[in-house]
Structure 1
C-alpha cells in the first residue's frame, strides 16, 4: 500500500506538531503540567490510531478525507462557527470576507439535470455578454456541464481575471444552442445592493453583508441621501444580514454617533486579546432620525450595529428579534495554506450585555444545545435608562409580526415554478412597466394559474395534511387507527388539496413572489428590490414612526412602551 511509504513522514509531522504545541500553543499554560500532559498524550493516541487505521483497515482509505472528517467533527463539538478552512476552500473564504472573486458575475442554480443562469448581475461580464436568466449551461470551455452539481459548475466558471470563458447555452425560445464568449473579471459584489428615497423625506440603505470596506458603501449612500436627495430621516435595513467583519460594524455605528464613544468590547480566555472598540472618526450625522430594520436572520455584526444603536438610544429598532450570535471568531494560519476560524471571545454592546442566545458551553446529555434559560437572563439599561436584556438576540423596539407563507408558496419556489414561468413570460413579452408601476394583473395571474395546473408533476402538502399524517402514525402505534379508519379516511378526503383554490387563497403572497421574479428579468436586482419595497410592512411601520416625531422620541426616552424592555419578548 502506498500509505506505508508515508509513515515516516507522518511520524515526523506528528513529532513537529507536538513540539509546536509545547513551544507555542501551550505558552499560556506553562504552569499547568496536567493539561500539558493530557494534550501531548491525546495527540500521540490520535497519531497512533491514525497510523494503525490506515495500515490495517480492510479497504483502501483516504488519509486526507479521514483527517478532514476528524477535524470537522472535533470542531463541531464546540460551536458551529469554529471551522477548518482547507487550502481548496480559501477562495470561498476570501469571497465571504471581501465579496470579491474572479468570474463572470452571475448566480446559478440547479434546475432538473441542468445548471441554469439564475440571475446575471447588472454591469458584470455575464450580463454584458448577453446571458439571460433561464439560460441552461451545456458546456463550459468545451467541458460538458449537464448533470453536474452547482458547486462543480461554479468551480468551472470561476477563474483568474482577464481569462476567457466560452459557454454553450440552451435558451428558451431559441431552436439552436448559443455560444457566448466573455472575459472573466474581478467581481466585487456591492454589499449595499440598493439605496434611495422611499418618500420625499426618508431614505433607505439596504446592507446585505459586512464584507471588507462595506462601511464606505454605507457612508457613501448616507451622504448622497442627505446632501443630494434631501433625506431628513434614514432607514438602515439589516434584515437577513448574517454579519461579517466586526471592524466594519463599528465603523457603521460610528457614522451616527460621536467620536470616542464605546461601540462594542470583546472578552475571551486570553486576556491580552480583550479589546474595546470605539468610534474613531468624525460621524456623518448624530441627530438625524434613524430606524434600523432587523429580522430573525440578522446576526453577528448586524446585531452589533442594531444593539449598539439601541443601547445608545440613537435610533428605533423595528422588526423581529435577531438571531442571537454574540461570539467573535479570529482566523489563525495553519500549515499548507489552510486556516482555522476559531471562536476566541464574546462581544458586549454598550449597555454591557452579550446577546448570545445559545449556550454551547453547557450541552445536554445527547449533545444538543439549548437557549440561555430565562433564569440566567439579566436586565441592563440603555444610556437613557430603558430596560434591555441579554441572552436572546436583540429585541426590537417595535415588533412587527412576520407573515408566514403558505405551503403552496414554498412548493412553487422549491420546484422552480416561479422561475420557469418568469423565463417563459420574458420570452413572450419584450418589455413591462417600471418596477414601481408593474402589477400582477388578473390576466397574468390566470396565465400563471393555468401554467401551474398544467404541470402534472407539481406536488405539495399543506401543514394540515402533514399534521394528519403524524396523527395517523401515532394512532397506528397506539392501535387506534383501525378502529377509526372510516373517520380518518373521511378527514383525509375532506383535506385533499385543491391547487386552483389554494392559488387564489394565497394570491397576494404568490403575486408578490411572482412579480419580483418577473421584474428581475427586466430590471435585475435593484428593480426587484424597488418592487418588493412597495408592500413592505416593516418599511411602512418605520416610515410612520419617523414621520411621527412625538412617537419616535417617546420610544427612545421610554415614555412609549417598547418590546426591547419586555423580558418575555426575548423568548
Structure 2
C-alpha cells in the first residue's frame, strides 16, 4: 500500500489511541466511556503489533476496514462504513447523479457488455446498444476486468472524452463519447393504460423523485386521466423527504406523513405535508410487493392510513429503520440506523428485530401474537410489525421451468440481440407482438442450444427417491417410481407449445428493450401484468373501491 495511505491509517489509529488515553485517565471503570476507551486502546495496540510482528506484510487499511465491517455486521444490514474511495458511489446511489456515459453494464455468459443504455444520455445518443460486448475503454482492455472496474473507467468529470470499443455481431466498432452529468430519472415510464387510467412507475427515491412523479401526474391529467395507478413494486426506497412530498401530491397541506423516533432527541422528527396537493380526490391505487421497502412503504402506508389509496399486490418488505450519514475522519463516513419511523396511524412496519438474534446471527421476525392493532382515518384495522399489507392481495406470478431456463441461460437475451441486428425498428412497445412466425424462428434457433431443466414434479420424484432410499422403502416402490418418472418426464418440445404464451411475453420484453430501453420494457409488460389488471379492475368498480376504503365491509 502507498506510504501516504499507511500514514493516514496509523494517524487515525493514533488519534483513537490518544482519545482512549484521555478517557482512561478520567473515567471510572464502570463507565461505558471507559469500556469504549479500553477497547479502542486494545484495537490500536493489536493493529500496531500485527504490523510489526506478523510473518507476512499486512495492509492496515484493508485490515481495519474488515474489522469495522465485522463490528457493524453485528448490528443490522443497513449500518455500513463508507471509506473515502467509495464516497462517490454512495453519493450516486443516494442522489442518482454521477458523471459518466449513462449505461448499465454487466456480465452475461462470461462476456462484459452494455445491458441498458439510458435514453437521452451519451451512450444511447452515440449509438451504443444493448448486448454490445465491451472490448476497450480509453485504450484499456476490459475483456477480463470485472464490471466495477469497467464502470470506474467509464465514469469521469462531465465534458471529458472517453473512447469505447465494442463488438457487435461480427463488427468491431469505436465510439467517442463526451461524459456528462447523469441524473437518472425516478420515473422511467408513465402513460395511459386505458382511456381514463394513468400509470406511473416509480423505481427510486433519489433527488427529484417527487418532482418526477408530479410531472408524470400532471402529464397524465392533461391526457385525460381520471384515475391513477402508482407502482412502487421492487422500489427499495431512498430519501425520506421525497417520500413525504410524493404523499403530499395526494393529501392536503399540514398532514403528518411520518415520525422518526430514536434514542437521541435530535433524531426525533415529525414530517408533514408542506404544499397544497396536486389532486386530493382522484381515485388512486398503489401497487406494492415484497421488494417495496423503506420510502416506498412510507408512501404506501401513509396513503393507506389516510384511506387515500387502495393498495394492491403483496405484503411489503418491512423496513421501518431510519439511517443517518455521519462524517468520520479522512473523508470517510458511516451510515447508521438512528431511529425507527412511524406512519400516521402510529404503526411501525419494521418486520425484523435485530436486537435479538439467533445463533447464526439472524434477526427474529415479530411474532403475530405481538403485532399491535391500529386504525386508519376511516377506522379500518391495520397492524404493525410486518410491512405494509395490501388491501387486495394478488399472488405472485410463477414461471414454468422452461421459461426460467431460457432466461437464465441468456437464450432469450441472445435471440433478441440477433433479432435487433437484422431489424432496424419495431412498432410501439404496446403494439409489438411476437408473431407465431417469429416464435417458430425462435424454436428453430433453439435446436442446437442447451437448455435442459428439471420440472417441479421431477424434482419432487427425485426427492421422494432419496427419502425412500434413506428410510429403506426404495426396493418396495422402485417399480412405481420408475413408472411415475416415465409418465411425468418432460418434453422440451411439448413445453415450448404448452408455455408458448409465457415464453412469447419474455421474448417480447427482451426484443422491445433493444429499441425502447427501460421505459419500453415497462410499457410492453402492461397488458400482461395480472397485478396491474387487478388494480384497473378495482378502479373500474367504484363501489368496490369505496367499500375497500370504508370500515364497513358488510
- Consecutive unaligned residues of structure 1, counting only runs of 5 or more, are 562-571
Cα deviation, 1:168-204, whole Å, max 9, x if unaligned, reads: 21111x4x41111111111111101111211221111
Q: How does 1:22-33 map to 2 (within 5 A)?
A: 33=30
Q: Distance in 1 between matches of 2:253 and 2:142?
A: 53
Structure 2 distance, partners of 1:243, 1:10, is 34
Offset of residue 33 of structure 1: 4.7
CA 1:125 to 1:12, structure 2 compared with 1: closer, same or farther past 3 Å? closer
Q: Matches of 1:125 and 1:85 in 2, distance apart?
A: 29
1:40–1:23 CA distance, 2 compared to 1 (3 A): closer
1:286 to 267, 272, 280: 280
1:549 and 2:548 correspond: no
Give 1:120's match in structure 2, choosing from 114, 117, 120: 117
Match of 1:49? Answer: 46
Q: 1:180 aligns with which of 151, 175, 178?
A: 175
Aligned equivalent of 1:353, options 331, 343, 347: 347
SS at match of 1:557: coil
Q: Pairwise mapping of residues 123-522 of structure 1 onto structure 2 (< 5 A)?
A: 123-172=120-169, 174=170, 176-226=171-221, 228-456=222-450, 458-475=451-468, 477-478=470-471, 492=485, 495-522=488-515
SS of alignment partner, residue 278 of structure 2:
coil
In structure 2, the partner of 1:564 is none
Q: CA deviation at 1:419?
A: 1.1
Kept after mapping to 1: 8 A contact 2:98/2:183: yes
Cα deviation per residue 1:249-298 (whole Å; 9 max; x = unaligned)?
00111111111111000111112321111111111111111111111111
The CA deviation at 1:20 is 5.2
SS of the residue corresponding to residue 136 of structure 2 reads strand
C-alpha distance in 1, partners of 2:29/2:368? 36
In the alignment, which residue of structure 2 is the partner of 1:567?
Answer: none
Q: Deviations over 1:503-531 (max 9, x none)?
A: 32322222111101101112222222211
Alpha-carbon separation, structure 2, partners of 1:32 and 1:216? 54
Distance in structure 2 (CA, Å) of the matches to 1:452 and 1:58: 56
Secondary structure of 1:148's partner?
coil
The change in CA–CA distance for 1:48 and 1:184 in structure 2 (over 3 A counts) is same
Deviations 1:39-95 (A, max 9, x none): 112222222222333333333322222222211121111111111111222222111
Q: CA deviation at 1:127?
A: 1.3
**Structure 2 CA distance, aligned partners of 1:205 and 1:249?**
15
TM-score, normalised on structure 1? 0.90
CA shift in 2, pair 1:468/1:76, >3 Å: farther
Shift of 1:373: 0.7
The answer to whether the aligner puts 1:88 opposite 2:82 as a matched pair is no
What is the CA deviation profile of residues 335-364 of structure 1, one whole-angstrom value per residue up to 9, with x for unaligned ones? 121111100000000000000111111111
Partner SS, residue 361 of structure 1: strand
Question: Which residue of the partner structure matches residue 569 of structure 1?
Answer: none
Distance, in Å, in 1 between the alignment partners of 2:232 and 2:74 is 30
After superposition, give the CA deviation of every residue in 1:215-235 in whole Å (9 maximum; x if it has no partner). 111111112222x21211111
Query: In the TM superposition, what is the alpha-carbon distance from 1:475 to its structure 2 partner?
Result: 4.8
Q: In 2, distance between residues paired with 1:11 and 1:123?
A: 46
Change beyond 3 A, Cα 1:499–1:313: same
* Separation (CA, whole Å) in 1 of partners of 2:390 and 2:97: 32
Return the alpha-carbon distance in structure 1 between the equivalents of residues 53 and 263 of structure 2.
41
**What whole-Å deviation, never above 9, does each CA across 1:288-321 have from its counterpart, x for those lacking one?**
1111111111100000000000001111111111
- Cα deviation for residue 485 of structure 1 reads 5.7
The answer to whether the 8 Å contact 2:197/2:227 transfers is: yes
Once the 2 structures are TM-superposed, how far is the Cα of residue 399 of structure 1 from its aligned partner? 0.9
What's the RMSD between the two structures over aligned residues? 2.6
Is the CA contact (8 Å cut-off) linking 1:113 and 1:147 kept in structure 2? no
Q: Distance in 1 between matches of 2:489 and 2:156?
A: 50
Q: How many residues are aligned here?
A: 551
Alpha-carbon separation, structure 2, partners of 1:22 and 1:448: 72
Cα 1:147–1:486, aligned 2, differ >3 Å: closer, same or farther?
farther
For 2:290 and 2:28, the matched residues in 1 are separated by 44
Question: In the alignment, is the contact (CA less than 8 A) between 1:113 and 1:146 conserved in 2?
Answer: no
Moved more, 493-502 or 242-251: 493-502
SS of match in other structure, 2:536: helix
Give the alignment's TM-score, normalised by structure 2. Answer: 0.93
